Structure 1
Amino acid sequence: MKSFLRTILASALVLGGAMSAQAADRAIIVLDASGSMWGQIDGKPKLEIARQALRSVLTTIPADTELGLMAYGHREKGSCSDIELVVPPASGSASAITAAADSMKFLGKTPLSAAVKQAAEDLKYTEDKATVILITDGLETCSADPCALGKELEQSGVDFTAHVVGFGLTAEEGRQVACLAENTGGKYIQASDAKGLEDALAQTVAEPAPAPAPAPTPEPAKPEFNFVPELALAEGAAALKDAGNAWEIYKANADGTKGERLTTEYNNYKGSLEPGDYVIRATLGEAAVEQPLKVEAGQAYKPLFVLNAGTLIVRPRPSDGGDINTGAAVVLDFPGASHPATYYGETKIVLPAGETKVKVTIGQGEANETIQLAAGQTVEKDIIAGVGRVVVNALYAQGGDKVDAGGLDVRVYKAKKKIDGTREQVTYGYGPDNKFDLPAGDYVVVARMDQAEAEQPFNVRVGEAGDVTAVLGAGVLAIDAPGAKEIRVYAARKDIQGNRKEFGYAYDQKHQATLPEGDYVVEADLGDAGKKEGSASVKAGERTELTVQ
């Protein structure tokens, strides 16, 4: 897969700027750094495959190509404005782009339309020729229309082109972003479509553009189309129109197996094929069918492909009558699958006929069902995960301020203790307003902020929502020790051995910590001036400031 993506990335970069004998082109790679890039292919995160592919391909780009790197989703979770020009376009920028990709985080959303538009503007696309290469493993998640953006950039630009590399997208997903490239005269390339291109594209990158080929001798007029395939879900069913299906066209090997992939087309495709032997593969959703085709000169073909598939609609709900959960994971294990497929929220998908096992997960709740799907049939199913929701917070003191800090550690355990006295951890989170979807039962939440900790038991009922609040009984101690190299905090009271319990430290001259209500001794190491001590009493819900000097 690493070699495969390297080929695809090389294709996109060549499309964007491989005319090395002409004036230097300017292009920006827009890299998807969203959290979905943590997904794995053959046991390796997609982000690592992307980094290695960039590192390899950038060594083949002509030195005069002015290339830049833009990323989105690499600094913040849940933000549609997290877009940054990481490396401005310049010649000789390969090492800077490689270093930036290697150090990049992958954690946010997918504002791909806004990122492409910003890249176009940075390239001054309304004044100069400009190329943008988008590499994405997901669809737009920020309420923008990539198709409309493509038309806008094509109309406004002097000579603007966008190429889109769909990394791991299905054919149906690819159709939703391909229009961005097609509307600007660019190319949409799926990772599965680049086989066999690596050598030819490497030569194109390394060598000057060839002289124009002589004009071909005019050929006799041919029919407009000689291949007009149709697709149906079942025998006897009506042909599908604009269904989002894909047509993969291969040259046939001598033994009739698939050979070189020639193209992938979509929906109501009509085309012209040269005489010869082909294998045609039709796909829709998770269903696929293929058949051979022999094309002879002067003949037209209108073959029917039958998927032997049906449509499954799954609506994941937390409880009977509850709203559809858009974040629910819907895992489908269908006939012929090499591995289960995962979707999110309400799922409508075409699957091969037969038995499909469905697993729906909402938070910590899970439901499994087996569904029989006949060819041409549509099955709609509400699947109930059986969970309730709690929102967990912590207070410094009863009736006091809420702990509104990202350092708040929240862990949920089953209330019943195991034989060794410990409890089984169910889930965890950080910061205020943690939302947990949990099956019915008794639980204990343990909230910890710095050195203060509190437990709060609670009960969950399916379909119900509630708030859980843990009271830390703690305050904040802020220490200022000018010139200190180290600060340590101890309980004022000594134990029976004469030792004091430590409550944290800092290698700085300032330190702030949340501490249980009580009396404390603070020791500051002032270097040559020796160690100094101070004392403070911390009250729940209050801030105490202490200077040690």
Structure 2
Amino acid sequence: MAVFARSFAAAILLLSMTTFGFAANKVIIILDASGSMWAQIDGKPKLEIARESLRTVLQSVPADDEIGFMAYGHREKGSCEDIQLIVPPQAGSASAITDAADSLKFLGKTPLTAAVKQAAEALKYTEDKATVVLITDGLETCGGDPCALGKELKASGVDFTADVVGFGLTADEGKQIACLAENTGGKYIQASDEKALQEALVETVAAPAPAPAPEPAPAPAPAPKAAEVDYNLIPQAFLKEGGEVPKIDVYYEVFPDDAKGVGGDHVNDGYNAVKFHVPAGNYIVVASSGGAKAEQKVTLTADKATELSLNLNAAELSIHARPAPGADVDRNAQISIAYPGGTSDSNYGEVKFVVPAGETKVTVKLGAGEASETMQLAAGQVVDKDMIVGVGKAKANAFYTKGGEKAETDVGWKVYKAAKKLDGSRDQVTYAYGPDSQFDLPPGDYVIGVDVQAVSTEQPFSVTVGQMTDVNVTLNAGVLAVDAPGADGFKIYEAKKNIQGERKQVTYAYGEKMQSTLAAGDYVLVTNFTTDKADKETPFTVKAGERSELKVE
């Protein structure tokens, strides 16, 4: 069934681009990147099916078609504003779109109504003919009304159409968003089962019938031909001779048994429970799944179905990455599988993968935590395993005063091991920027350093496996804002002079205005002017949690 899921998504998208007038319009594809796309169809995440379908279909799109790409739910959890036009409509955008889809994280909500509205506006739908193709596996979760939006866009647009692909939705769920397509004159396609796949493939792949030619004169009756079977090759791959069929995709290719062999072009290909009809002759059949591969020569005739068994000599791994025992799978955890002859690194959260028999090393990385295990795997072995990274989470915020206002801009974090080295320095573990920064860390003692403009401070904290630790750092600081018309720049010094009569410079800026966060205390502002006007010194005091404003003339 996984073959049908992958091909289904590709067929549906191709259907959207051909049947829906894709080539005639500027088009924006909207991909649902919400967290529900991690759900699987026959053991394969929907998001992987969608990525591979985009890659497959876009290769066949003419280079001068103007296609854009938008996603929602790919940057923030729980946000209804997380909508982004990643690739503007342009010719030759296939590579940019597939690269963008491959880099998406799937973790947010489903603001599909707002996304369609933004895509329509990006296409200038009130001025030009425009088409939006929405691929969603969920319903609106941000209060939008897709039915009302469809009517609005149709009424105000020049020639606007929204086509909707319900990826894995039930029939009842599909009815709730089909109105978006129907109210714009578009189509809604239910992408949920093998039958729908077959119908979509027929509709999108089969070439239109040519206009009937004049009837030729009756030809002589053909000589009787030997009866042919519908399929003369039925391949099937196994983990070992007489063992199990892999529960993830197996890809089959059929090559002519000639001088080029598997180095040449294949004559046919397909996934899983596929059947082939190829001309009689000698062939090489190759089966591959994950990192395992097998090939076998076969001679085929037109009147006989040959069932071919291919031995992958492999094991099947199912890995689930968890930060702590009993915790949910963490979709940010990277899973790397090093198997005989190769490595697979593009796996996150959990993965099913087939590897050749032998030594395989699985490494899971989550933030600064890492866990690995080396396994000796036998052909036919099926392993279902939780990999525990053993980390806790720390969430960091900086406040101007204890219990006061939170710092929101120019916040930089560095996390160090608490223990100092012989030279007094500490090893840096990781870093981040912004408020509510989160870190996955192994258990132990740490020191976090924070920089907010001209203020720097540190605070120790500890991490326990499986627990969230809130690290709230008090800056004991305020904000200074300066307005000095005609100024060229500023320098701020501590008010207190050292024993040599010199002040320590704290920060500086250029122009007529500046704003900076400063630790509470007394300072001197030196204003430099662009004219012959002399520099001006202005003493001031910053109070924790307060804003100070200076006007220098």
Secondary structure in structure 2 of the residue aligned to 1:536? strand
Unaligned runs of 5+ in 2: 1-12, 34-53, 142-164
Give yes or no for contact 1:26–1:130 (8 Å, CA) kept in 2.
yes
CA root-mean-square deviation: 5.3
Which residue does the alignment assign to 1:443?
446
Give yes or no for contact 1:282–1:288 (8 Å, CA) kept in 2.
yes
Give yes or no for contact 2:228–2:302 (8 Å, CA) kept in 1.
no
The C-alpha deviation readout for 1:386-411, integer Å capped at 9, x for no partner, is 222222222222332222x2421111
The answer as to 2:256 corresponding to 1:251 is: yes
Aligned counterparts, 1:444-523, within 5 A: 444-523=447-526
Deviation at 1:148, TM superposition (A): 5.9
What letter matches 1:261 in structure 2? H
The C-alpha deviation readout for 1:347-400, integer Å capped at 9, x for no partner, is 332322222111122221212212232333222223322222222222222332
The answer as to 2:194 corresponding to 1:222 is: no
What letter matches 2:83 in structure 1? D
Give yes or no for contact 2:316–2:382 (8 Å, CA) kept in 1.
yes
Q: Distance in 2 between matches of 1:279 and 1:113?
A: 49
Give yes or no for contact 1:487–1:524 (8 Å, CA) kept in 2.
yes
Give yes or no for contact 2:30–2:133 (8 Å, CA) kept in 1.
no
Give yes or no for contact 1:361–1:385 (8 Å, CA) kept in 2.
yes
The C-alpha deviation readout for 1:247-287, integer Å capped at 9, x for no partner, is 22223333654421234312211221112222222223332
The answer as to 2:277 corresponding to 1:275 is: no
Give yes or no for contact 1:410–1:446 (8 Å, CA) kept in 2.
yes
Which residue does the alignment assign to 1:25?
24
Q: Distance in 2 between matches of 1:306 and 1:215?
A: 52
Give yes or no for contact 2:235–2:274 (8 Å, CA) kept in 1.
yes
Which has the higher mean CA deviation after the structures are superposed, 410-419 or 487-496? 487-496
What letter matches 2:479 in structure 1? V
CA 116–359 in structure 1, closer or farther in 2 if over 3 Å, else same: farther
Unaligned runs of 5+ in 1: 1-11, 18-22, 35-49, 163-174, 188-209
Which has the higher mean CA deviation after the structures are superposed, 109-118 or 440-449? 109-118
The C-alpha deviation readout for 1:151-195, integer Å capped at 9, x for no partner, is 979x96989899xxxxxxxxxxxx99x9699569446xxxxxxxx
The answer as to 2:332 corresponding to 1:327 is: yes
The answer as to 2:85 corresponding to 1:84 is: yes
Which has the higher mean CA deviation after the structures are superposed, 492-501 or 267-276? 492-501
The C-alpha deviation readout for 1:85-136, integer Å capped at 9, x for no partner, is 8655xxxx659x79x99xx999754699968998799699xx99979799xx
Give yes or no for contact 2:65–2:91 (8 Å, CA) kept in 1.
no
Which residue does the alignment assign to 1:237?
243
TM-score (norm 2): 0.67
The answer as to 2:66 corresponding to 1:67 is: yes
Q: Distance in 1 between matches of 2:404 and 2:454?
A: 18
Give yes or no for contact 1:161–1:186 (8 Å, CA) kept in 2.
no
The answer as to 2:265 corresponding to 1:260 is: yes
Secondary structure in structure 1 of the residue aligned to 2:231? coil
The C-alpha deviation readout for 1:29-63, integer Å capped at 9, x for no partner, is 7599x9xxxxxxxxxxxxxxx9xxx9x999x95xx
Give yes or no for contact 1:75–1:105 (8 Å, CA) kept in 2.
no
Q: Distance in 1 between matches of 2:71 and 2:369?
A: 32
Aligned counterparts, 1:119-518, within 5 A: 146=167, 182=200, 185-186=203-204, 222-237=228-243, 243-254=248-259, 256-337=261-342, 339-403=343-407, 405-518=408-521
Q: 1:544 aligns with which of 530, 541, 548?
A: 548
Give yes or no for contact 1:27–1:123 (8 Å, CA) kept in 2.
no
Which residue does the alignment assign to 2:153?
none
Secondary structure in structure 2 of the residue aligned to 1:402? coil
Q: Distance in 1 between matches of 2:375 and 2:346?
A: 16
CA 527–493 in structure 1, closer or farther in 2 if over 3 Å, else same: same
Give yes or no for contact 1:26–1:123 (8 Å, CA) kept in 2.
no
Give yes or no for contact 1:234–1:375 (8 Å, CA) kept in 2.
yes
Which residue does the alignment assign to 1:46?
none
What letter matches 2:542 in structure 1? V
The C-alpha deviation readout for 1:185-237, integer Å capped at 9, x for no partner, is 446xxxxxxxxxxxxxxxxxxxxxx9999999999563222122223222223
Q: How many residues align?
A: 465
Q: Distance in 2 between matches of 1:287 and 1:232?
A: 11
What letter matches 1:84 in structure 2? L
CA 380–133 in structure 1, closer or farther in 2 if over 3 Å, else same: closer
Give yes or no for contact 1:147–1:183 (8 Å, CA) kept in 2.
no
CA 118–544 in structure 1, closer or farther in 2 if over 3 Å, else same: closer
Q: Distance in 1 between matches of 2:459 and 2:446?
A: 9
CA 432–25 in structure 1, closer or farther in 2 if over 3 Å, else same: closer
Give yes or no for contact 2:491–2:527 (8 Å, CA) kept in 1.
yes
What letter matches 1:259 in structure 2? G
Give yes or no for contact 1:77–1:108 (8 Å, CA) kept in 2.
no
What letter matches 2:68 in structure 1? L
Deviation at 1:26, TM superposition (A): 3.3
CA 263–72 in structure 1, closer or farther in 2 if over 3 Å, else same: farther
Q: Distance in 1 between matches of 2:253 and 2:214?
A: 31
Give yes or no for contact 1:332–1:340 (8 Å, CA) kept in 2.
yes
Deviation at 1:529, TM superposition (A): 7.0
Deviation at 1:67, TM superposition (A): 2.5
Q: Distance in 1 between matches of 2:433 and 2:523?
A: 27
Deviation at 1:25, TM superposition (A): 3.4
What letter matches 2:510 in structure 1? Y
Give yes or no for contact 1:16–1:133 (8 Å, CA) kept in 2.
no
What letter matches 1:25 in structure 2? A
Deviation at 1:455, TM superposition (A): 1.1
Q: Distance in 2 between matches of 1:505 and 1:374?
A: 66
TM-score (norm 1): 0.68
Secondary structure in structure 2 of the residue aligned to 1:399? coil
Q: Distance in 1 between matches of 2:328 and 2:274?
A: 39
Give yes or no for contact 1:30–1:116 (8 Å, CA) kept in 2.
no
Q: Distance in 2 between matches of 1:454 and 1:387?
A: 25
What letter matches 2:457 in structure 1? A
Q: Distance in 2 between matches of 1:462 and 1:284?
A: 36
Percent identity of the aligned residues? 38
